[in-house]
C-alpha cells in the first residue's frame, strides 16, 4: 500500500509542474489577477429606528404633543 503511494508521488509532481507552466494557465492566472471578482450586491440602506440604539438616535423622532 505504501509502495503504491510512494510510486505516485514522482508521477504527480512533473504533471503538476507541467500543468503549472502551461501558457494557458499563466494567461488565466493573469486574467484572474487583473479582473477583480464582482462585488456582492448589498441591500439598500434603509433608515429605520434601530432596536439597538435608543430612540434619540432614530431618524424619525415625532415631537410630543
15-24 pLDDT per residue, tens: 555 555 666 6
The boundaries of the domain holding residue 39 are 2-57
Count of the separate structural domains present in the chain: 1
- pLDDT recorded at residue 56: 62
Residue 1: its pLDDT value, please? 45
Written as nine digits, the cell of 1 is 500500500
65 in a structural domain:
no
CB 49 within 8 A of CB 58: yes
pLDDT the model gives residue 38? 72
Residue ranges of the chain with per-residue pLDDT less than 50: 1-2, 4
For residues 43 and 38, give the distance between their C-alpha atoms in angstroms, rounded to a whole number. 15
In a domain, 62, yes or no: no
State if pTM tops 0.85.
Answer: no
Question: Would residue 15 count as lying in a domain?
Answer: yes
Amino acid at each position: 500500500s505504501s509502495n503504491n503511494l510512494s510510486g505516485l508521488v514522482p508521477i504527480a509532481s512533473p504533471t503538476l509542474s507541467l500543468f503549472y507552466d502551461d501558457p494557458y494557465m499563466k494567461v488565466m492566472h493573469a486574467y484572474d489577477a487583473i479582473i477583480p471578482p464582482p462585488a456582492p450586491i448589498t441591500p439598500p440602506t434603509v433608515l429605520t429606528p434601530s432596536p439597538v440604539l435608543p430612540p434619540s438616535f432614530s431618524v424619525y423622532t415625532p415631537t410630543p404633543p
